[in-house]
Amino acid sequence: MKRALFPGSFDPLTLGHYDIIKRGVKLFDEIIIAIGINADKKYMFSLEERKKFIEEAFKDEPKIKVDTYSGMTIDFCKEVGAEFILRGLRNPADFEFEKAIAHTNRKLSKIETVFLLTAAKTSHISSSIVRDVIRNNGNYTLLVPDSVRVK
Boundaries of every domain in the chain: 3-142
List the CATH code of the domain at 3-142: 3.40.50.620
What per-residue confidence (pLDDT) applies to 40?
Answer: 82
- Of the candidates 130, 125, 137, 133, the one whose C-alpha atom is nearest the C-alpha of residue 12 is 130
- Of the candidates 122, 127, 125, 123, the one whose C-alpha atom is nearest the C-alpha of residue 45 is 127
Q: Which residues are catalytic?
A: 17, 41, 90, 127
7-62 residue pLDDT tens: 999 999 999 999 999 999 999 999 999 999 987 889 999 999 999 999 999 999 99
CA–CA separation, 83 vs 5, rounded Å? 8
- Of the candidates 31, 35, 45, 41, the one whose C-alpha atom is nearest the C-alpha of residue 9 is 35
What per-residue confidence (pLDDT) applies to 150?
Answer: 76
Provide φ and ψ at 38, rounded to 5°.
Answer: -125, 110
pTM: 0.94
Residue ranges of the alpha helices (H) in 8-150? Answer: 15-24, 47-57, 73-80, 92-108, 127-135
Beginning with the edge strand found earlier in the chain, give each strand of the sheet holding 30-36 in spatial order.
64-69, 30-36, 3-8, 84-89, 112-117
Confidence label for 117 from pLDDT (cuts 50, 70 and 90) = very high
Q: How many helices (H) and strands (E) does the chain have?
A: 5, 5
Residues with Cβ within 8 Å of 86's Cβ and at least 6 positions away in sequence, in order, are 4, 5, 6, 20, 21, 24, 28, 31, 113, 114, 116
Confidence label for 151 from pLDDT (cuts 50, 70 and 90) = low
Rg of the chain (C-alpha set): 15
